[in-house]
Structure 1
């Protein structure tokens, strides 16, 4: 919240924008950047100067990397010791169980961020520099590399990446960046440092299998539903071009929020599919928001266990503890209540357009950033609602629940009672 407030005040400075913007627009832009969402009420290309875009990129980097992780990296660079209390907070933030693994993970995060973003920027220069010139093209490449790896979805082009819809470099580099950033640092560390499959943890296996399944569903259904839509895929000649656009839009939907086609031109069925994918999001300890892939996978496994009359949830030869299943139930319940409340408030305060409003809320919660063109039509109240949803979507609904809840040791045990369900 402090970073958002600082960023919002920075955007009010005259040097940041081509013309003055209001406080709410400034805070909305800062919130969208820190939560790596990508929803925009001001044009990044036309309304922000170079310095404004630079501040935006810094906020994206800090928000995506995580403030506590960034603080540890700076602390380590200065050679200062990390106290037990700070280690405990960071361990909770990165879902680690030991301090030894925590230190290794922080080093891995630093290496992955530096290598991925530098490599991504160098490759994107191959496309942007020939079209826009050396200096401008280099900045476009750096900004999009940072934005893509952190799953932010911000672009320095007013029309997004629609002008590069069939560019092979953009269609390879941008998805590679946000997929690596979105699967989580724990998974990256496992894949890079352990033996294939058998050496990977249960979390890594569930994450990778779930990601592959969601990519196949997203890309496949995008191609099927939008193949003959003249406002999206059908505006491109040839099956190869259409498949390329379907690939990019199908994989960017869950977390990144870039667009190479007109999102407002999607069929209603495709929009509903994208809302589900955006709500799922990416992986834990990653740059993505939403419910998280592993949450949905555990929910499916628990449902299958119930119908098979099993009293244990397991996958790949490992059981999943009951408290994790209860955490999944709490997460889904809180997320559902949050999205319902936000949608209700926006519909009650705005005129019609149920699909556009629901899409906006799902995008904000999943910190995705895709929009059917409704973001700029939000009232001041609507912007504040979306800001709250973006914030909670990034820090996680369970964080809110743990913050509000009080742990009390039970002194009594009650006899079981029967409740009729379903």
Structure 2
């Protein structure tokens, strides 16, 4: 079976190629401020950037030079838009149209539901990303100049880098403490948070909301679920962290009430696969870690720049459970019946994700000196492409870091995409077996 008939394989090849090129560039002496990067440092950083994760084994602003930071920025942008999306767009001005093979590849990368709309969606993806990133970059640049006295050139670079990193849910920062120095500054934290939320909604939702902004009743079930779950998780997450960290002097305890609310909101936003932190994540209470792990695992919207099992998957499973508890034959939401195929897909994604997180956690706990809660946090952060860390990533053995690279890669592409691309052939049964019902529970 040819690659044209398996676009998922081309997407994987594209991401692997981007990681390989990024690793090679980061290995160059010019990419580091001092001694050249080791292969593991370059590979981990390139994988984290392409997979828009944000986990690091080196201090980004200290270890990498301006050239290295630029490489990371480009890898983030490529990873956020999708390698195959960028490749397809490069061919649009030349060919003026995409052939079927290119459309299939782009559809697999962007989660587009209609092959005929792929070309239009790819262009809109770049336009929307450009508008959001430019707007946020301007606000940040002005704030860095006016509020912190940075030279215009440096402020512009900081503004652009964090705007791109925010919209693509990457979490890379040009400050050693991420956003901790700006925990009380809404002019820095909120623009990045807004970019993160927009990037996490996904292109299909953004386009539909813009098109039908005056007629919310026309929004699709996917958009309604994504917007509702995003709001619930942001409000619920903010309240949860406000309660658990209120008296923790190592995080929010020393802040004013208003700053505590801001810090809790920022953490709730970034726990959903963005990776910036305005408080010390490693100093948080264990219950806050657990809440963060749950938010990371759920993630953001499908077709977005973020990871996790996605809010639609979580919502479908919740509705299925609720319907089963009530004894209803169908799972209904917003006056729509959720198909059996969608229910099975949600269950498959969730259970695969649990297995992908649990198995490496068990192995890494048994082969490292760190506690299971720290390992579970790092593994979940890697798989969900979040980038938040308890601070142990750089201290892990090289083989543990290789596992985290694999988890970031799997999490970026998605278990279903990866499994489908690697399958030798699709099996179709021409018959159905007699039905039976084993005892459950």
**1:15: which partner in 2?**
30
1:80 positional shift: 4.1
In 1, the alpha carbon distance for the partners of 2:156 and 2:111 equals 36
TM-score by length of 2: 0.93
**1:202: which partner in 2?**
221
1:347 positional shift: 0.9
Does 1:136 find its partner at 2:154?
Answer: yes
* SS of aligned partner of 1:78: helix
**1:186: which partner in 2?**
204
In 1, the alpha carbon distance for the partners of 2:277 and 2:174 equals 13
1:411 positional shift: 3.2
Q: Deviations over 1:267-313 (max 9, x none)?
A: 00000000010111111111001101111001101111111222222
**1:358: which partner in 2?**
376
2:268 to 234, 250, 261: 250
* SS of aligned partner of 1:274: helix
**Stretch deviating more after TM superposition (171-180 or 86-95):** 86-95
The answer to whether the 8 A contact 1:153-1:257 is kept is: yes
Q: Which runs of 5+ in 1 are unaligned?
A: none
1:389 to 395, 404, 407: 407
The answer to whether the 8 A contact 2:234-2:269 is kept is: yes
In 1, the alpha carbon distance for the partners of 2:372 and 2:222 equals 37
**2:388: which partner in 1?**
370
In 1, the alpha carbon distance for the partners of 2:219 and 2:361 equals 40
Does 1:109 find its partner at 2:125?
Answer: yes
In 2, the alpha carbon distance for the partners of 1:361 and 1:390 equals 9
Return structure 1 stretches of 4+ with deviation > 4 angstroms.
none
Q: Which runs of 5+ in 2 are unaligned?
A: 1-15
**Stretch deviating more after TM superposition (368-377 or 125-134):** 125-134
Report the number of matched residues. 421
The answer to whether the 8 A contact 1:73-1:110 is kept is: no
* SS of aligned partner of 2:216: coil
Alignment of 1:9-408 (within 5 A): 9-18=24-33, 19-130=35-146, 131=148, 132-194=150-212, 195-236=214-255, 238-405=256-423, 406-408=425-427
In 2, the alpha carbon distance for the partners of 1:380 and 1:103 equals 41
Q: Deviations over 1:353-374 (max 9, x none)?
A: 2111110011111111000111
In 1, the alpha carbon distance for the partners of 2:421 and 2:200 equals 25
Does 1:3 find its partner at 2:18?
Answer: yes
**Stretch deviating more after TM superposition (270-279 or 86-95):** 86-95
* SS of aligned partner of 1:259: coil
TM-score by length of 1: 0.97
1:54 positional shift: 0.2
Q: Deviations over 1:149-170 (max 9, x none)?
A: 1000000011111111111211
